[in-house]
Amino acid sequence: MAAAVDESTPDESIIHDMRITQHGKMNAWVEFALDFLHQNPETGITLHTLPAPKRQTPTEPAVEQPPEPKDSSQAKPDRMPPSMSTIPRLISVAEIIKREYLKTLSSDDAQEGVLTGLHQYNVIGTLPDESPAGAEDPEAERLQAISAALTGKNHLKQPRIAYMKITLSRKCIPELRSKGASYQEPALRRLSKSARTRSRRRRKNQATTEDAEPS
């Protein structure tokens, strides 16, 4: 059964961002996301592994330091950038949020006996190259290209640093799909026959009580 699509869509400009790190507490992220989604049904929340924004600091005169000798015995292996190494953690947090969100729904939230979970939009990209324009020496680049050609390497290695963003929302956000985000439909949970019966009975009793109240 396909999830119902609400014609009113969240405003992408007010979607809340939450950065996932290696040292944060997963239960705190999940608790915050669930509270936010229940309190803000018209918007969504985006979990991402993008670097923290750089703080603006006053410019100080550069102090030239003498070069330190390189010790090959203490060379450290290249480490994966945080925006890439935290992607598995990001996916785990998103899956927990979706699972726990379904658990928080009551039978009164069901439509035709079905509880609908969260819409999910995934974006994988690469960080921009922050090296200043013109910083590379054209002559050095030419020599590097010649050296690569002589060693049989026609394609120079161009490192790319990836990141991931996952947006969860109670409503569809078609603008994200139009911008290239992949989409995962909400998980569905069907109520048992007895649960549907109890829900109908509660709604009927509530309607009767409201009609009996004096205006």
Domains, in order of start, for the chain: 12-51+80-129+161-212 (3.30.110.20)
Token digits of residue 64: 């030239």
pTM for the full predicted model: 0.68
Report whether pLDDT(197) > 70: no
Q: Are 171 and 14 in contact (CB under 8 A)?
A: no
Pairwise pLDDT comparison (74 vs 207), residue with the higher score: 207
Report whether pLDDT(204) > 90: no
Report whether pLDDT(132) > 60: no
- Give pLDDT, residue 208: 64
Handedness of CA 125, 131, 134, 135 (dihedral sign): negative
Looking at residue 73, the DSSP 8-state letter turns out to be G
Task: Compute φ and ψ for 132, nearest 5 degrees.
Answer: -65, 145
How many Å separate Cα 9 from the centre of its chain? 18
- Distance of alpha carbon 151 from alpha carbon 143, whole angstroms: 12
Query: pLDDT tens digits for 93-119?
Result: 999 999 999 999 887 777 777 889 999
- Distance of alpha carbon 19 from alpha carbon 188, whole angstroms: 27
